[in-house]
Amino acid sequence: MAWLIIGAIVAGLGIAALAQSPANGDKEPLSASNPAPDGAMATAEILRRHGVAVTESDSFATTTSVLAGKPGATVFLYDRNGYLGPTQLQSLLQSAARVVVVAPGLRTLTGLGSEIHNAGVVPDSTSTLGAGCVQADPLAAGDVSGKGGFLYTGAEVTCYRPSSNDGGMYAASADGRLVVLGSTALLSNDLLQEEGNAALALRTLGPTPDLVWYLPGLGDVPSDGRPPTLNELAPPWVGFLGLWLAVVALLAVLWRGRRLGPLVFEPLPVVVKAVETAEGRARLYQDSRAVGQAADNLRSGTLTRLAKHFRLGPEAGADAVLDAVARKVDRPAQELRMLLLEHRPRTESELVQWAQSIETLEQEAIAQ
């Protein structure tokens, strides 16, 4: 009898431990109920202790219902998969007093209809970022973690810029109703205590008494009805034309089909001239219209030859090469940067003209 009682107690303790285990809890990144390192339970709990009513939502219908009763609320939006469409995003902007979007992609930014757009990522060598602006919240928060952050530009207010030429990890509209945070680490349980992350997160999310913590799901994907089939999209004459084209293609194959002859044995190794390899690769680029790849190869080759000519060493960066060339040909470094690094040919004719320009520059630098 005693063994049965002990067994029942152990089984009860095991069931209770499993029920309270974090493995059975919320695992969504930046969820207000997720205690894991990538969750944001700590941020939500601190906001609640400071008097902010945090309402969690995982559907657009629930969010709009809450905003109908609390029009002055702030909406925290983390749509990492881009589920929401333009109509839904515009509805959130109109219904909420403020919308804070974390690490939005192109689809989300386009749907919001603002001028804010992506500007790259924070360099791996940058661990912290200074505010670099006069906006009240970033100025009070000070330095924050830049690890894994995204940069945005085009906003009236841009803060936390790695350099003057980059976008910022904090972007806001002029009226402050739309704020874009480019890093999930600012609110995560793992890095909330680092630098001024907590201060920036709390000041950005806590200006109003009510906060709707919204993480969209698959159920929020807008439905446009049943998509049309191929038969509905195609005109009536496609059926006859398709059959006729199939017959013509079969006749062409029988007429022009390649007939293989006997195998020819050739001793190895086969020596291929370098010029033939270069021409073959050039033809592949031309056939695939890979203008960008061809331009990158020309740019890399020019920089390599210039670095070798000026004896800068194999580890010399593009900026060092540009400085050496600028001093040699007596031209502004910014002009050379625009020509050699930043110019992106879009057509084959532009590629030819650009290749001639950088070849002339290389000849000038080497000749003098």
Whether 214 and 65 have beta carbons less than 8 Å apart is answered as: no
283 shares its domain with 176? no
pLDDT digits (tens, 9 = 90+) for 228-261: 666 766 777 777 787 888 899 988 888 877 666 6
**Residues 213 and 117 reside in one and the same domain:** yes
Q: What is the span of the domain harbouring residue 289? A: 274-367
- For residue 132, count other CB atoms closer than 10 A to its CB: 17
Q: How far apart are the first and last CA of the chain?
A: 101
Domain for residue 263, yes or no?
A: no
Same domain, 47 and 172: yes
Q: What is the pLDDT of residues 277-295, one digit of tens each?
A: 778 877 888 888 888 888 8
What's the CA gap between 333 and 145, in Å, rounded? 32
Determine contact, residues 42/191, Cβ cutoff 8 Å. no
Q: What is the CATH number of the domain that holds 192?
A: 3.40.50
Q: How many domains does the chain have?
A: 2
With respect to residue 261, please indicate whether it lies within any of the assigned structural domains: no
- Determine the 3-state secondary structure of 181 from DSSP: strand
Give the separation between CA 41 and CA 36, rounded to whole angstroms.
8
44 shares a domain with 157: yes
Computed over every residue of the chain, the mean pLDDT equals 84
Encode pLDDT of 124-167 as tens digits: 888 889 998 888 999 999 999 988 899 999 888 999 998 877 78
Indicate whether 215 and 298 sit together in one domain.
Answer: no
| Same domain as 282, residue 182 | no
* pLDDT over 70 (residue 8): no
Residue 4 counted as domain residue: no
Q: Tell me: do 166 and 298 sit in the same domain.
A: no
pLDDT at site 48? 92
Q: Looking at 175, 192, 220, which one is the last position of a domain?
A: 220
Span 52-95, pLDDT tens digits: 999 999 899 999 999 998 888 999 999 988 889 899 999 999 99
Q: CA 237 → CA 89, 100, 230, 232, 345, distances in Å?
A: 42, 52, 13, 12, 41
Q: Is the same domain home to 283 and 150?
A: no
Tell me if 150 sits within 8 A of 121, measured CB to CB: yes
In this prediction, residue 78 carries a pLDDT of 94
pTM passes above 0.85: no
* Phi/psi of residue 146, nearest 5 degrees: -105, 5
In a domain, 55, yes or no: yes
Nearest Cα residue to 45 out of 165, 218, 213, 172: 213
In a domain, 236, yes or no: no
What are the φ/ψ torsions at residue 98 (nearest 5 degrees)?
-155, 140
Strand locations in the chain, DSSP E? 53-57, 74-77, 98-102, 117-121, 128-129, 144-145, 150-153, 157-159, 170-172, 178-181, 210-214
Are 153 and 285 within one domain? Answer: no
Helix (H) or strand (E) holding 349: helix 348-367
How far apart (Å, rounded) are the C-alpha atoms in residues 28 and 36? 9
Instruction: Give the domain-ending residue among 157, 185, 220.
Output: 220
Give the integer Cα–Cα distance in Å for 320 and 335.
15
- Is there a domain that residue 247 lies in? no
Q: What is the pLDDT of residue 331?
A: 87
Three-class SS state of 215: coil
> Is the same domain home to 194 and 282?
no
My answer on whether 216 and 281 are in the same domain is no
Q: Are residues 210 and 283 in the same domain?
A: no
Q: Which of 214, 211, 152, 291 is nearest to 28 (CA)?
A: 214
